[in-house]
Amino acid sequence: MTEQDSIRINRFLSAAGVCSRREADRLIEEGRIFVNGRAAKTGMQIFPDDEVVFDKKVLSKKEERTLLLFNKPCGIVCTEEKREKNNIIDFINYPTRIFTIGRLDKDSHGLILLTDDGSIVNDIMKGSRKHEKEYHVRVDKPLTEGFIKRMKEGVYLPELSVKTRKCKVKRTGEMSFDITLTQGLNRQIRRMCEALGYKVLDLMRFRIMNLFVDNIREGSYRRITPEEERELFKELYNADQDSK
Please name which of 162, 172, 107 lies closest in space to residue 134, comparing C-alpha atoms: 172
CB-based contacts of 37, cutoff 8 Å, min separation 6: 51
Tell me if 124 sits within 8 A of 101, measured CB to CB: yes
**pLDDT tens digits, 6-17:** 788 988 887 776
Identical topology for domains 3-59 and 132-208: no
Over residues 187-198, the pLDDT tens digits come to 999 999 999 999
pLDDT above 50: residue 56: yes
The residue among 109, 166, 106 whose CA lies nearest residue 135 is 109
**How would residue 5 be classed by pLDDT, with cut points 50, 70 and 90?**
low
Instruction: Give the CATH fold of the 3-59 domain.
Output: 3.10.290
For residue 238, what is the enclosing H or E element? helix 226-243
Residue with more model confidence, 40 or 129: 40
Which positions ≥6 away from 197 have C-beta within 8 Å? none
69 dihedral zone (left: phi>0; alpha: psi -120 to 50; beta):
beta
Angle at 49 (CA atoms; ends 45, 52), nearest 5 degrees: 65
Burial (CB count <10 Å: 0-12, 13-18, 19+), residue 138: middle
pLDDT confidence of 73, banded at 50, 70, 90?
very high
Q: Using an 8 Å Cβ cutoff, are 111 and 69 in contact? A: yes
- The SS3 of residue 28 is helix
Query: The CATH number of 132-208 is which of 3.40.630.40, 3.40.50.1580, 3.30.70.1560, 3.60.20.10?
Result: 3.30.70.1560
Q: DSSP E strands: which ranges in 60-195?
A: 67-72, 99-101, 109-115, 133-139, 156-157, 162-163, 168-173, 176-181
Predicted confidence at residue 238, as pLDDT, reads 58
- Provide the residue ranges of all domains of the chain, joining segments of one domain with +: 3-59, 67-126+211-243, 132-208
pTM: 0.73
Compute the distance between CA of residue 54 and CA of residue 59 in angstroms, rounded to an integer: 7
Highest average pLDDT, of 106-120, 132-146, 217-231, comes from 132-146
Any idea which residues carry the catalytic annotation? 105
Q: What is the pLDDT of residue 17?
A: 67
**Contact call for residues 220 and 94 (beta carbons, < 8 A):** no
CATH number, domain 67-126+211-243: 3.30.70.580
pLDDT band at 60 (very low <50, low <70, confident <90, very high): low
Confidence of residue 160 (pLDDT cuts 50, 70, 90): very high
